[in-house]
Structure 1
Amino acid sequence: MMKKTMLAACVIAASVSVTFAQQWKPAGDKILTSWGEQLDPNNVHQEYPRPQLKRQGNWQNLNGLWKYKITAKDQSETPTSWDGDILVPFAVESALSGVGKSVNKDQALWYNSEIELSKKNKKGGRVLLHFGAVDWQCDVYVNGEHIGRHEGGFDPFSFDITQAIKKGKKQEVAIRVWDPTSDGPQPRGKQINDPHGIWYTPVTGIWQTVWLENVPETYIASTKQTPNVDAGVLEISANVESVQSGDQLLIEAYDQGKKISEITVNAAESAKLSVPNAELWSPSSPKLYDLAVKVLRKGKIVDQVDSYFAMRKIERKADSQGIMRLALNDEFLFQYGPLDQGWWPDGLHTAPSDEALKFDLVKTKEMGFNMIRKHIKVEPATWYRHCDSLGILVWADMPSGDLGGNNWDMQPGKVTNGVHDKERSAESEGYYRKEWKAIMDALHNFPSIVVWVPFNEAWGQFKTKEITEWTMAYDPSRVINSASGGNFAFVGDILDIHNYPDAAMPDARLFGDKYALVLGEFGGLGLPVDGHTWQQKDNWGYQSFKNPEELQNRYKEVIGNVAALISRGLSGAVYTQTTDVEVETNGLMTYDRKVIKIPEATLKSIHQTLYDVKVN
């Protein structure tokens, strides 16, 4: 076991009001997951929320019942009365929030809670208030003082609230949220004010964990960790707040508790940590190493965070026929996975528990998939940690926003040079660029992510060449799928088309020597299961069936068609989808996760035919 160093700052003890917790219950009459049915409002998402930057013993989870009020958008003063309780971190529209109300563009959502700091809180440390995600514009007040504003619905953020804390008193935290959903130009993914078809219920407000952390004056705010397999090193740097001249970083790598490497550098410098005889990470062998990063001052540790990393390499690489393929650790691996939208009937964007969050991933692995396309949504950090541990490749989409006004060609084998970029305002472009960078920064250290996807089906797609080239330059350690769906600008590493329900691929004769060719979406075979649907009628799939036998036979047929394309140049495929979502019933599982439509072992056997195809 690696040594744990106690921080100079003390643990924060906080309490979130749980008054009337016994009165909390899910709102509305929609189906619930088993985890939602058993949810305890006093014990919600208590796991440590940041597995890639972990401090021991000095954090406090603030999830639980807060007060809420829906006001006019222009109300700038903290309310003096409240509409009731809301269960954080579930969006106000969700059943598990206990509220189940909509908030429109002319309204604001306010939160309030009292937090009690422990007397052990010493002078000299800093108190940080962290948010996993809040959709969309978030203003934070502590004891009436405006601490700051954050705009972005999918990236984590923090505020230093030290100066606003009052000694010997409970600390009042108020949060104001404004979210125009589809009436605004901001990234929003699948949310829409009028849910229908492939567009879902809005998500407003806090939807990931809220927590406090006590840190020393000089502390590690973030690290950047990039494996370099060819050089046998982990390239690593740290952002250290209030660093002093002469401060150093001591970086140590561990394998099952045994130290295998260390390096000491100036705190402002990047390091190349040797990883001798590295065991490479892959879906069949998801090897993770532990990491400790310490700030040293005159030989004394002033801060330490624990993390982990993996050694893996992803690239496009030509095979013996000159066709570009996706290669993991220098070897071609056909990447096959479901379109995973990450929606829940009771929590919307938020899984009812971490156990539920992991359930989808475990089932995906048991079904024989080796990849997931996380579709225009970002998950909590713990989701990516599970992917890292289980060995699941991730294609990470940027959530779309500012939709409409685009036309594009996504027909199989036909890709024209007529990319249709949308004209977006400077404000709209700014929201996209800021949040895409923030998302890439927040997720950079997770080795399971192998593909970035800036745009999907021309939804809000703008300046494709510029955005793609920026993405490639900002993170050269991954491959870039510039435009999933066919609105292709001849830039990036991947050419991606969508085709429903049958398998298809881009023309390898025209593009196979330049781009890895993938089928970014196909399938969508639907089967509504009575008692497990979002609504009783008007559900749909791209092709619907009456019973599981019909579904299984058709699924086997379309997978056979995918297998036939691999030798012709196909590098990856994405089946729609992991679960039913609202009125879509084309999931391999029902929306409540209570019914798996085709047995896991059957799916795994069918999928093995894809991995058995030999490519030179």
Structure 2
Amino acid sequence: MVRRHWINLNGMWDYLITDSRILPWQFYKSEYFPFDGQILVPFSPEAPLSQVKRQLLPDETLWYSRTIQLPENCLNTESQRLLLHFGAVDQICSVYINRKFVTYHKGGYLPFTTDITDFITEDLTVSILISVHDFSDTSYHARGKQQLKRGGMFYTAQSGIWQTVWMEIVPNKYIRDVRVTPDWDNSLVRMRIRVSSASSAENASPAHISPTAADQTDSQGTVLAFSPDRQNSSNVICKVYPPVFLEADGLNDTLCQDEITTAAIRPGKGATLSIPENMQKSWTPKEPWLYPYSLEYGKDRILGYFALRKCDVQIADDNYPRFFLNNQPYFQSGVLDQGYWPDGLYTAPSDEALIYDIRAMKDLGFNMLRKHGKIETDRWYFHCDRMGMLVWQDMPNGGSSYHHWFVTYLATLLNWMRIPVKDLHARLLSRTDEFGRQEYIDDIRDMVRTLYNHPSIVTWVPFNEGWGQFSTKKVTDFIHRLDPSRLVDSASGWFDQGCGDINSLHYYFLGLPVPESDRVLALSEFGGYSLRLPEHSACKNIYGYKKFTTSEALTDSFSRLMENTIVPSVKKGYSATVFTQLSDIEEETNGLITYDRKKIKMNPLIVQKWNTKLKKSLHS
């Protein structure tokens, strides 16, 4: 959804923290408004880079204010709309434009957009006021691993705006969203486009549309794209360009060649586009080919990309269910990635910082990242798409306070003994609140819709280690209906309910279980080996499952673990592993690299060697 013209609103905003959730109109209507100071958006007030460095408490409200003066004649309110976008605001926020309420959004991890055209003044002044309330770990809302009193495996809570804020000027008739699904087996992509001004029928889901006799359909009843000579003003013109390796700065320089296919697509109806045989290139971590495309709808034009790739589970020659990539067995060697930075917390200090983490893991021989405990900025997924990194995406956990004696310690023992536990214990699993369960379902739906088009994402992970787990089978079926093209790891760690595509286990203590399963086996967390390097650490306290004092000792122990347990597990059916973790985070010093990203703590050549052996063992 890249457009040519947009206005970045990151930068210095005025802020105020109050002990009231009521808008202080008596100040806002006057010329004097008692701000506490300025905050650097998009960094949360708890992050050093915000220049505030203060914890927002559950009974407080964080206010943001900024006034934008749009250039004269830049917006024609009769033929154009002004959209205000938020990448993510943690946790609940209200938006006011020129002292009028515009919208309300709940959920700290997902983007939202609001049309503010009707609220701006004739002189094109846009005065933005935002209120934010964050319950953190005192309520059932999704929070990942944030905690007001950080420590151990839980980290500094953050709040407020933590992803980019921007505005776009679009025509009255504009493209709202695009959904692209690759069909690797048939060298097709299925595309659905929704627009702003079409009738409700045009914007309906394709599942509820019956093609008319005049429509050309394929064997699945999907409406095929019209040829360009049948276009009219209500159609979207799609042009697909030759596959490329994208550079870090994006799509703007990729459309220098002639398109390989062109079609006119009816908004709201599923369209099928065929890729010419001489232009078919598969996306893999080794060769991440991407197809740029442009969409034109009246005066609106956007750029995007898709990939031809297929990730599923099939029975391999050794009779085990295995992960397959483009119909070939493919071992996924991954790393747990929680996306915390010492200066920005949830927000990377720069685009280069996002790239560094992905590149560092690829250089160590990993081909998959499990994004754990948060939904990352869209830019991160773009880099995974273009650099070739598979992604397992967690839904950030929520629920009331966790009973660690049950979901951590007892669960570890029961998992090792292969004693199943049903997910019916709502109180023990911290999911007694009906509103919290419904909010979780809404967040799952929005997460899948938001990230659907990224080819790097191959697996959804709704629950981790029983934290807020409930109705696992129903949630799994819901995700499969939302996205039949990807796999679901229903319950990462333990409390497996026998559903989903993956039998997912964690191994930190006791022996590694090898259950008999008709689903693919994944070691979705292991390791946790801890080494604190004082000059590169955030805290004096150390949290980890096995502690070391030197890099050499850490590397040697990692090698023994790989040689004696992890690599042999592949022959027993395991098809993916996830090492804990990418970087240190505060007290948790079990990262491959330090929290400040300045040191790799193990010998890189040794890590590369074992990753090579791990992946080769699938075929030996």
TM class, shorter-length: 0.7 to 0.9
Deviates more, 1:319-328 or 1:438-447: 319-328
Kindly tell me the number of residue pairs found equivalent between the two proteins: 553
Matched, 1:542 2:550: no
Given candidates 125, 129, 136, the residue that maps to 1:181 is: 136
CA distance in 2, matches of 1:503, 1:90: 42
2:345 to 344, 348, 371: 348
Retained in 2: the 8 A contact 1:502–1:558? no
Match of 2:521 in 1: 517
| Structure 1 ranges of 4+ moved more than 6 A | none
The 8 Å contact of residues 413 and 506 in structure 1, kept in 2 or not, is answered as no
1:97 aligns to 2:50 (yes or no): yes
In the alignment, what sits opposite 2:95? 140
Asked whether the 8 Å contact 1:590–1:596 carries over to 2, the reply is: yes
Q: Distance in 1 between matches of 2:578 and 2:348?
A: 22
Partner letter of residue 595 of structure 1? K
Q: CA deviation at 1:417?
A: 4.0
Q: How does 1:199-348 map to 2 (within 5 A)?
A: 199-243=154-198, 247-255=234-242, 256=244, 257-277=257-277, 278-295=280-297, 301-348=298-345
Q: Are residues 1:60 and 2:33 paired?
A: no
With over 3 angstroms needed to count, the CA separation of the structure-2 counterparts of 1:503 and 1:73, relative to structure 1, is: farther
Distance apart, 1:505 and its partner CA:
4.3
1:117 to 55, 65, 70: 70
Superposition pairs of residues 414-429 of structure 1, within 5 angstroms: 414-421=417-424, 422=426, 423-429=431-437
Cα distance in 2, alignment partners of residues 600 and 287 from structure 1 = 27
2:496 to 467, 480, 488: 488
**By how many angstroms is 1:546 displaced?**
1.0
Distance, in Å, in 1 between the alignment partners of 2:259 and 2:389 is 26
Q: Does the CA-based 8 Å contact 2:559-2:606 persist in structure 1?
A: no
**Secondary structure of the residue that 2:498 maps to in structure 1?**
coil
Residue pair 1:504, 1:519 contacting (<8 A) in 2 also: no
> After alignment, is 268-277 or 233-242 more displaced?
268-277
AA in 2 matched with 1:249: V
- Counterpart in the other structure of 1:602: 606
Which residue is 2:35 aligned to? 82
TM-superposed deviation, 1:392: 0.5
Q: Which residue of the partner structure matches residue 393 of structure 2?
A: 396
Check conservation: 1:559, 1:607, Cα contact below 8 A: no
Residue type of the partner of 1:111?
Y
Number of the residue aligned with 2:224: none
* Cα distance between partner residues in 1 of 2:21 and 2:236: 47
CA change 1:503–1:64 in 2 (3 A) is farther
Larger helix percent: 2
Q: 1:368, 1:479 → 2: CA distance?
A: 23
Where 2:474 maps in the other structure, the secondary structure is: helix
Q: CA deviation at 1:501?
A: 5.6
The structure whose RCO (Cα within 8 Å, separation 6+) is larger is 1
1:593 aligns with 2:608: no
- Number of the residue aligned with 2:19: 72
d(CA) in 2 for partners of 1:519, 1:614: 15
Shift of 1:75: 2.0
- 1:398·1:436 contact (CA, 8 Å) conserved in 2? yes
Whole-angstrom CA distance in 2 between matches of 1:609 and 1:399: 32
Unaligned runs of 5+ in 2: 28-32, 203-232, 245-256
Q: CA deviation at 1:167?
A: 1.5
2-structure distance, mates of 1:203, 1:441: 25
Letter in 2 for 1:185: Y
- 1:36-57 Cα offsets, whole Å, 9 max, x none, are xxxxxxxxxxxxxxxxx1001x
1:441-484 residue CA offsets vs partner (Å, 9 max, x unmatched)? 11000000000000000000011111011111211100100000
The answer to whether the 8 Å contact 1:502/1:523 transfers is: no
C-alpha deviation, 1:221, in angstroms: 1.2
| Conserved 8 A contact 2:416-2:510 | no
Task: Output the CA distance in 2 between the equivalents of 1:258 and 1:603.
Answer: 43
| Among 333, 358, 361, the residue aligned to 1:361 | 358
For 2:322 and 2:495, the matched residues in 1 are separated by 21
**Which amino acid in structure 2 is aligned with residue 264 of structure 1?**
A
- 2:59 is aligned, of 79, 98, 106, to 106
Counterpart-to-counterpart distance in 1, 2:342 and 2:510: 28
Distance in 1 between the 2:417 and 2:369 partners? 26
- Alpha carbons of 1:484 and 1:142: their partners in 2 closer, same or farther (altered >3 Å)? same
Task: Give % identity.
Answer: 37
> Mean Cα displacement is larger for which, 553-562 or 600-609?
600-609
Instruction: State the 1:94 CA deviation.
Output: 0.8
The secondary structure found in structure 1 opposite 2:157 is coil
Moved more, 540-549 or 211-220: 540-549
Alignment-derived partner of residue 208 in structure 2: none
Question: Using the alignment, how far apart are the partners of 2:578 and 2:349 within structure 1?
Answer: 26
Preserved contact between residue 501 and residue 543 of structure 1 (Cα < 8 Å): no
RMSD: 1.6
Q: Which of the numbers 147, 151, 157 marks the counterpart of 2:112?
A: 157
| Cα deviation 1:540-565 (Å, max 9, x = unaligned) | 22111111111111111122221111
Q: Please tell me whether residue 551 in structure 1 is matched to residue 504 in structure 2.
A: no
Structure 1 residue aligned with 2:375: 378
Cα distance, 1:413 vs structure 2: 5.7
One-letter amino acid of the counterpart of residue 270, structure 1: G
Match of 1:437 among 415, 438, 445: 445
Q: Secondary structure at the match of 2:268?
A: coil
Check 1:506–1:263 CA distance in 2 against 1; reply closer, same or farther (3 A cut). Answer: farther
For residues 335 and 547 of structure 1, the distance between their equivalents in structure 2, rounded to whole angstroms, comes to 29
Counterpart for residue 249 of structure 2: none
Evaluate the alpha carbon distance shift between residue 539 and residue 614 of structure 1 in structure 2; reply closer, same or farther with a 3 A threshold. closer
